[in-house]
Amino acid sequence: MSTTSTDSAADAAAMDPAVPVPDAAPQQPKQMLRERLAGLRGGDLGSLPVVIGLAVIVIVFQSLNSTFLNSFNLVNLCLQIAAVGIIATGVTLVLLLGEIDLSVGSVSGLAAAILAVLNVNEGLPPVVALLAAAAGGLVIGTIHGLVFTKLGVPSFIVTLAGLLVWQGAQLQVLGSQGTINLPPSGGLQQFGRFSYLADWQSYGLAVVLPVLFLAAKLATRSRRTRAGLPVGAVWVPVAQALLLLAVLLAVVAKLSIDRGVPWIFVVFVAILALVEYVLRRTRYGRAVFAVGGNIEAARRAGIKVDALRTSVFAIASMLAAVGGTVAAMRLGFANQSSGAADTLINAIAAAVIGGTSLFGGRSRMYSALLGALVIGAIANGLDLLNLSSALRYIITGTVLLLAVVIDALASRGRRSAGR
Amino acid sequence: MSADVLSTEPHTPPVGTSLLSLTGIQKRFGAVRALSDVDFEVRAGEVVALVGDNGAGKSTLVKVMSGAGPADEGSYRIEGREVSIGTPAAASAHGVATVFQDLAICDNLDVVANLFLGRELTRGVALDEPEMERRTVELLEQLSVKLPSVRIPMASLSGGQRQSVAIVRALLGSPKVVLLDEPTAALGVAQTAQVLNLVERLRERGLGVVLISHNMADVMAVADRAVVLRLGRVAGRFDMADVSREQLVATITGADTNVVSERAARVAGRSAAAPAGTEGNQA
Ligand SMILES: Nc1ncnc2c1ncn2[C@@H]1O[C@H](COP(=O)(O)OP(=O)(O)OP(=O)(O)O)[C@@H](O)[C@H]1O
Ligand SMILES: [Mg+2]
């Protein structure tokens, strides 16, 4: 029993925060820093590459075109990344299982078509059309999941077939019309293009969120104290909350100079926050990580693996559908190329760039937001420079490859450190 | 500290009472008689080693006990009462926990998450992390299992630590009997000692432990009794107090006690490995 406590430095090197680490990890700042540095040496780069990458992107585009960082453009950026971010949130879930969903683009396009047809052609109220589109996604994902789990068809094939089938369905739903415009004064376009938080709402959120964050941290801290577990210094969560407050206030202030914080962006972040909560704080989320980590272990622990995987595919397709409706609401129309082109690759790229491993079982907090910001900033910046498609594809593809390489290297590092 | 987290003690029978007993177990795989007429018993507070050469039927017997591969014939008693154990769930409901050789651990999750996998504690919908961590720390302390932290992913633990966590996890269900299939197979000297210490602690807690091992040194070190299987039959039962390693090896290989077998046993003992060194003798 003597070998255990000596090699904790080496163990720290293998630490990987891409798994659900409860917020209560009792660490003193010095120890946190030491483990962080050890982690960096051990090949775990954390969210550092993304943040640095984002900074580089911002600096490059800002120096090439000084309008990049102005309020008008940043509000546009928020509008632009909402849809892809919501789709990427669903992709994150599937990647956590160690699977892939190649149909999210097509499903988002089909959902856009369903939304437009029900609202415009059938005259149904916006909310009903939205719910129907989301429900359609849920049904589609359930089909994917059942074919995958019950028939044993690899997810790659199931969703590749889905990519084609649902694109066909989209064309069918749109019929001969090709493009259906949402009425400019209707609820859908109003919400997608012209709805922004009022100042009191956005500043209120910017203050309330850090307060809630701090309250949750302190509550956990006191429960740990009562349980006799070690706790870190109080000022750490306080400092974190203050930092969050500063960032949120700065963002809100910047966006409020122009139109303000778009509602669809708030919807995206709210969905992401809900998914993050479920993933990291509930039994369901724990089961998702377990299945992605070792499916046999999960099965033996009594987790209903097939039902779980089916549900994840269902949620992913539903989020793809929601993302598709958000895109349609923002653009003001649904057409035959809704959800086509680079929707799929952007969503997967956002999830991976943000720090979700393709090997399953690992995802950093809020990876869909970080990744969507990177993808969105590149597209937006190139648009400003009138360098649209060709270069954007090349750069986005390269960034995705880079993210995958970092993921693969980190995974190899874990294997060698994992003894 | 508060009450015992294992909460096994209140209903653990006194040392020496029969916890699990099998009689007349038969198991066939097609033409192969994997087990014929095997009797086996585990009592409270003892470590029974199950030894035998490759293909002797050890894993088959463990599968019978763990519910993963029920017997064709024979009776299965838990604390004297006849039970029918057809699934792993039924076995664990009757207090029989198994740690299979492939540990079935999620490397991406931390120690606490692995211990409570599939039976997490919650407050409302949220996981009750402080409570799970408290119980984990307490449990590891009671069993003197030392880990660098309970909040590091399993991937960064050593083999012995991983094995220890797997065994501790089996204990969370408050079992009476723990089946360990080759728990020290892939471990070095220090880590083996670590796991054997843990086995001894299970015995101190009044559990019945079945230890499958090819390593005679381990068997001699911790077992109270040994049951030797050979070609699907019980070839011998020994009290470890009055058996030598040579006798054990001879029974495993099926050689009579003669000069040849004793020499073979000595060679086997010197090469420290399991019966591999005596194969020539068996043929
Ligand atoms: N599923 C099965 N189908 C057919 N034969 C089997 C099966 N499982 C075991 N056997 C046979 O039963 C016999 C006993 O095998 P078992 O795995 O129990 O041996 P063991 O003592 O565990 O050996 P080892 O030390 O190699 O693990 C062997 O002859 C084996 O080939
Ligand atoms: Mg075996």
Residue A242 sits in the same domain as residue A299? no
Instruction: Specify the pLDDT at position B134.
Output: 94
Candidates A98, A92, A58, A80; CA nearest to A273 is A92
The amino acid at A270 = A
Residue A301 sits in the same domain as residue A330? yes
Residue A157 sits in the same domain as residue A218? no
**Residue A413 confidence (pLDDT) above 80:** no
Instruction: Specify the pLDDT at position A8.
Output: 39
Contact B130 A229 (CB under 8 A): yes
Residue A149 sits in the same domain as residue A164? yes
DSSP string, A156-167: HHHHHHHHHHHH
Beta carbons within 10 angstroms of residue A398's beta carbon: 11
In a domain, residue A22? The reply is: no
Residue A213 sits in the same domain as residue A342? no
Residues of A in contact with B126 (CB under 8 A): 281-282
CA B114 to chain CA centroid, nearest Å: 19
* Cβ of residue B59 lying under 6 Å from some atom of ligand 1: yes
For ligand 1, atom 11, name the residue with the nearest CA: B34
* Count of structural domains within chain A: 2
Closest-approach residue (CA) in chain B for A304: B118
Placement of tokens 């047809």 in the chain: A117
For the stretch A39-86, pLDDT in tens is 555 445 667 778 888 999 999 999 999 999 999 999 999 999 999 999
Residue A223 sits in the same domain as residue A372? no
For the stretch B259-275, pLDDT in tens is 555 666 566 666 554 44
Cα–Cα distance measured from residue A195 to residue A199, given in angstroms and rounded to the nearest whole number? 12
Cα–Cα distance measured from residue B229 to residue B214, given in angstroms and rounded to the nearest whole number? 12
In a domain, residue A7? The reply is: no
Residue A253 sits in the same domain as residue A130? no
**Chosen domain end from A261, A294, A312:** A261
Residue A245 sits in the same domain as residue A273? no
In a domain, residue A377? The reply is: yes
**H/E run at residue B50:** strand B47-52
Cα–Cα distance measured from residue A126 to residue A138, given in angstroms and rounded to the nearest whole number? 18
Give the Å distances, CA to CA, from B220 to A275, B239, B243, B251, B272: 53, 10, 9, 15, 12
Please give the model's pTM, rounded to 2 decimal places.
0.84
Range among A9-23, A176-190, A207-221, B75-89 rated most confident: A207-221
Residue A211 sits in the same domain as residue A296? no
CB pairs A-B closer than 8 Å? 146
Q: Where are the domains of chain B?
A: 3-243
**Chosen domain end from A245, A261, A277:** A261
In a domain, residue A82? The reply is: yes
**Residue A17 confidence (pLDDT) above 50:** no
Judged by DSSP in three states, B75 sits in strand
Residue A183 sits in the same domain as residue A250? no
Q: Is the dihedral of CA B65, B164, A12, B134 positive or negative?
A: positive
In a domain, residue A182? The reply is: yes
For ligand 1, atom 8, name the residue with the nearest CA: B60
Residue A215 sits in the same domain as residue A358? no
Given CATH 3.40.50.300, say whether it is the number of domain B3-243. yes
Cα–Cα distance measured from residue A345 to residue B224, given in angstroms and rounded to the nearest whole number? 62
In a domain, residue A9? The reply is: no
Shortest distance, CA B206 to any CA of chain A (angstroms): 22
Show the domain range for A400.
46-195+262-416
In a domain, residue A13? The reply is: no
Closest-approach residue (CA) in chain B for A302: B118
Candidates B210, B207, B278; CA nearest to B248 is B278
Cα–Cα distance measured from residue B211 to residue B66, given in angstroms and rounded to the nearest whole number? 13
Beta carbons within 10 angstroms of residue A172's beta carbon: 10
**Domain containing residue A305: CATH number:** 1.10.3470
Q: Are A409 and A90 in contact (CB under 8 A)?
A: no
Ligand showing the shortest atom-to-Cα distance for residue B274: 1
For the stretch B133-156, pLDDT in tens is 999 999 898 888 889 999 988 988
Residue A170 sits in the same domain as residue A214? no
Region A324-330 average pLDDT: 97
Predicted complex ipTM = 0.84
